[in-house]
Amino acid sequence: MLMLGVDERDGDKGRSDTMIVLTVNPQKKSVKMLSIPRDTRTEIVGHGTQDKINHAFAFGGAKMSMDTVENFLDIPIDYYMKINMEGFKDIVDAVGGVTVQNDLDFTSDGIHFAKGSHTLNGKEALAYSRMRHDDPSGDFGRQSRQRAIIEAVIKEGASLSSLTKYDDVFDALSKNIQTNLTFDNMMDIQKNYRDASKSITQSSINGNGTKIDGIYYYIVSDQEKEKVQSELKEQLSIK
């Protein structure tokens, strides 16, 4: 599944500034979360250009993003989930908040996050996951916090037992998410894949930043790409 975090504005389709691939293996009972840096230079499938990977969404929506990521990682992308980042806080609140382990002291959107364990509501989780400029790791630090929030949401969602909570969750999902998952798909995942949420590993892609014609790009070497592709194929038990 490709998760696209999009900040949408009036009259603008938006760019997918957050791109996370979730590979789920129910036999291995494991989930791998891979962040793709938004400035990664790659072929935009269906557009005929080499560009930043997050531009695929602006050019051709979720379909072009899926095709581009599928080509980049050489694995099948079956589903997508486009999340309105502003509404993401509703999803966090619907599962009753999330707990994260913070390793950087910072303030974001007027909220102070000291080092240590924090239980966050939706507004706090959004501020926590958005901070980038004051992080020594820049966008990679933000990606790590985003994956931590999503991992916490997955674990909270998998442990839900109250039908009342389900109503809240589906209400939040319907308002803030577009996906090609059907309701039956979602119920199947909750029923048959929930054990996989107990083993979630996170990773990112190594590369180097450079400017081409005055525009910043993140360049991933062929060797790094092959390494990431092999790890994902092993996770999915495909060749």
Over residues 154-184, the pLDDT tens digits come to 777 767 655 556 677 778 777 788 899 888 8
Rounded to 5°, angle at Cα 152 from 119 and 182? 135
Torsion of CA 146, 149, 150, 152, to 10 degrees: 160
| pLDDT value of position 69 | 97
Q: What digits encode the pLDDT tens for the residues 31-41?
A: 999 999 999 99
| pLDDT value of position 223 | 97
Q: CA-CA distance, 33 to 227, in Å (whole number)?
A: 15
| pLDDT value of position 194 | 76
Going 218 to 228 to 69 to 142, the CA torsion angle's sign is negative
Report yes or no: 151 and 202 within 8 Å, Cβ to Cβ: yes
| pLDDT value of position 63 | 95
Token match 């293996």: residue?
A: 25
Q: What is the pTM of this model?
A: 0.78
Topology of domain 85-175, CATH: Aminopeptidase (3.40.630)
Report yes or no: 211 and 217 within 8 Å, Cβ to Cβ: yes
Domain boundaries, the chain: 1-79+180-239, 85-175
pLDDT beneath 70: ranges in the chain:
7-15, 158, 160-166
Q: CA-CA distance, 123 to 218, in Å (whole number)?
A: 30
Q: Which CATH number fits domain 1-79+180-239: 3.30.70.890, 3.40.250.10, 3.30.420.590, 1.10.1510.10?
A: 3.30.420.590
